[in-house]
């Protein structure tokens, strides 16, 4: 009888667990696979190097980068985008001294933080944001995305917003407040977080402020790049004056890299 490759079987098992359960830590994956952490780490490292999975910079969790019949395509594409974008995020943070977040459209009306250079520290904003889904109405990337989207795509995003369980978000839309903010975002060239928007599920420590620009992939807004800092330290206009040019340059570099992806799940309409 021909023996099977045990290492390959274990690697596929880890990939299957990631596909079924979503982003996970080394400890959790090792436990579910019933493997020593050292063995699981070596297998995961191989999968990372071969491009099957991605280890997020922000929280160290592993994410599958290739879609499968058991996993939605857009989250896998988001992980592939994060891997391409990380060098540009790190470079932007080094140039500005600020944390950089990358958000991606998971589905109509849903943005998700897929990578970030936030770091823990006294007086810093919440360092662990990967996987968080910011408000389209009140977050800087949500507003930047809507402002950069065509009318029909923006309408699809806003239809989702009307189905949320947030009265504040629905009021922002029906009252015309969001429409005014989208117009202001287009005029200034970047999105700004609404004052007081500080979700308990995401942010703790210092109250955050951020500005965001959209990522235009082949003419379509599919994500956003943000710079984040404690709100008490600087105003949005001050940070835009200092760093907007660098942000736009980084956004163009990320968009150029992502445009080369040849995945059928890349939605451009």
Domain residue ranges of the chain, discontinuous segments joined by +:
6-50, 73-258
Q: How confident is the model at residue 260 (pLDDT cuts 50, 70, 90)?
A: confident
Calculate what percentage of the chain has a pLDDT beyond 90: 58
pLDDT at 189: 96
pLDDT at 18: 87
pLDDT at 268: 46
Of the candidates 200, 204, 250, 202, the one whose C-alpha atom is nearest the C-alpha of residue 226 is 250
pLDDT at 190: 98
pLDDT at 46 over 50: yes
Fold observed for domain 73-258: Beta-Lactamase (3.30.450)
Of the candidates 47, 172, 63, 169, the one whose C-alpha atom is nearest the C-alpha of residue 112 is 63
Tell me the mean pLDDT in the region 209-218. Answer: 94
pLDDT at 195: 85
Q: Is 131 exposed, middle or buried (0-12, 13-18, 19+ CB in 10 A)?
A: middle
pLDDT at 70 over 50: no
- Spatial CB neighbours of 262, under 8 Å, sequence gap ≥ 6: none
Q: Is 117 exposed, middle or buried (0-12, 13-18, 19+ CB in 10 A)?
A: buried
Q: How far apart are CA 24 and CA 63, in angstroms?
A: 7
The CATH number of 6-50 is: 1.10.10
Taking a C-beta distance cutoff of 8 angstroms, is the pair 150, 218 a contact?
A: no
Tell me the mean pLDDT in the region 199-206. Answer: 60
Tell me the mean pLDDT in the region 240-268. Answer: 83
Q: How far apart are CA 110 and CA 134, in angstroms?
A: 8
DSSP one-letter string for 9-56: HHHHHHHHHHHHH-SB-HHHHHHHHT--HHHHHHHHHHHHHTTSEEE-
Q: Is 9 exposed, middle or buried (0-12, 13-18, 19+ CB in 10 A)?
A: exposed
Q: What's the pTM value of the predicted model, to 2 decimals?
A: 0.84
pLDDT at 161 over 50: yes
For tokens 């206009």, what's the residue? 237
Higher pLDDT: 211 or 127? It is 211
Tell me the mean pLDDT in the region 235-262. Answer: 93
Crossing angle of the two packed helices 26-33 and 6-21, in degrees rounded to 10: 120
Residue 207's CB is within 10 A of a number of other CB atoms, namely 15
Any idea of the CA torsion for 174, 204, 222, 108, to the nearest 10 degrees?
-50
3-state percent breakdown (helix, strand, coil) of the chain, nearest 5: 45, 20, 35
pLDDT at 150: 93
Cα separation values, 185 from 74, 80, 122, 139, 211, Å: 26, 28, 31, 12, 10
Encode 220-255 in three state secondary structure: EEEEEEEEEEECCCCCHHHHHHHHHHHHHHHHHHHH
Q: How far apart are CA 67 and CA 265, in angstroms?
A: 8
Residue 84's CB is within 10 A of a number of other CB atoms, namely 17
């Amino acid at each position: 009888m021909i023996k099977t490759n045990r290492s390959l079987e274990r690697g596929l098992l880890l990939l299957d667990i990631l596909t079924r359960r979503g982003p996970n830590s080394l400890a959790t994956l090792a436990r579910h696979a019933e493997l020593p952490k050292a063995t699981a780490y070596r297998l995961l490292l191989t999968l990372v190097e071969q491009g099957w999975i991605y280890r997020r910079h922000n929280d160290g969790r592993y994410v599958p980068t290739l879609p499968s019949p058991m996993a939605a395509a857009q989250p896998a594409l988001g992980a592939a985008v994060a891997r391409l974008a990380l060098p540009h995020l790190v470079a932007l943070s080094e140039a500005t001294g600020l944390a950089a977040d990358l958000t991606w459209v998971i589905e109509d009306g849903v943005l998700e933080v897929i990578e970030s250079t936030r770091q823990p520290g006294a007086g810093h904003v919440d360092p662990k944001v990967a996987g968080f889904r910011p408000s389209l109405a009140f977050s800087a990337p949500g507003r930047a995305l809507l402002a950069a989207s065509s009318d029909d795509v923006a309408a699809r995003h806003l239809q989702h917003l009307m189905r949320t369980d947030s009265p504040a978000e629905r009021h922002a839309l029906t009252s015309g407040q969001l429409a005014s903010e989208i117009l202001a975002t287009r005029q200034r060239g970047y999105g700004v977080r609404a004052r007081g928007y500080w979700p308990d599920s995401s942010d703790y420590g210092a109250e955050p402020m951020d500005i965001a620009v959209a990522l235009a992939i082949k003419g379509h807004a599919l994500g956003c790049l943000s710079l984040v800092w404690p709100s008490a330290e600087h105003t949005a206009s001050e940070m835009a004056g200092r760093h907007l040019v660098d942000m736009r340059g980084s956004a163009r570099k990320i968009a150029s890299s992502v445009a080369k992806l040849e995945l059928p799940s890349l939605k451009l309409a």
